[in-house]
Amino acid sequence: MPVFYGTEVTSRLMLGTAQYPSPAILADAFRQSKAGIATVSVRREAGCDKAGQDFWTLIEELGVNVLPNTAGCHTVREAVTTAHMARELFNTPWIKLEVIGHADTLQPDPFALVEAARILTEDGFQVFPYCTEDLILGEKLLTAGCEVLMPWGAPIGSGLGLNNVYGLRSMRAHFPDVPMVIDAGLGLPSQAAHAIELGYDAVLLNTAVAKAGDPAAMAKGFALAVEAGALAHAADPMEPRDMAAPSTPVLGKAFLE
């Protein structure tokens, strides 16, 4: 199972907590997903009046690791401030770092992301950076102190799957010993299985489950998919080939003259 900053988690599936029709459906989806990590937006909690206390109680009852995020932040200052709020609220050094640079695609700002990651790691945070599949960006994030990389599969909430398989495969090969998570853009369990087959340690998603007609059923589908992907990756799958190859041996077959 994946190990992030020395902590082994129980599943290769990480699940977000936003957009569910009701708290009961959220809880049911998590039970079916067997997710090991729940991502939580700081904006759901209010430090002064505990307005989000019921939600926080629900998350605690799920019995999973909590990964607060800086969703919606567009500057270094905003992301760093939000991270400090998260550490106080959730009592964890973990932070999923998002610094959005493009409003339409929600693509991260690579320059601000690296700077925020450096500031937070120096302050004792364990940073999970939402990034693109750019190798240079990956190098700079690791140099800034990150021990995990979280490249997107596709834009957040798009459900497009793995838009750049070549780039994601290259990133996995370039950083063979770095824990990696495909974060964002997955819409179907088959896409999650593909990500794990490529050698990624886990996948993180939200919309695909929360917005499904039956979130609990979709969550179970993703749980089975990441398990299947892990089995396939460990089994050393065959290499694809351009030509057909008979699966039935011809040795001993009768030939007519």
CA distance 199 to 148: 14
Q: Is 182 helix (H, G, I), strand (E, B) or coil?
A: strand
Which residues, 6+ apart, have CB-to-CB distance to 172 below 8 Å? 180, 198, 199, 200
If one counts every other C-beta atom within 10 angstroms of the C-beta of residue 175, the result is: 15
Angle, alpha carbons 230-231-232 (nearest 5°): 90
- Phi first, then psi: give them for residue 85, nearest 5 degrees: -60, -40
How many residues are listed for the chain in this entry?
A: 257
- Phi first, then psi: give them for residue 185, nearest 5 degrees: 95, -10
Which residue is it, tokens 């793995």? 162
Which residues, 6+ apart, have CB-to-CB distance to 226 below 8 Å? 11, 12, 13, 192, 193, 196, 202, 203
- Phi first, then psi: give them for residue 94, nearest 5 degrees: -70, 140
DSSP, residue by residue, 117-133: HHHHHHTT-EEEEEE-S
Catalytic residue among 34, 96, 140, 220: 96
Is 50 catalytic? The answer is no
Chain centre distance of CA 165: 16
Catalytic residue ranges: 96
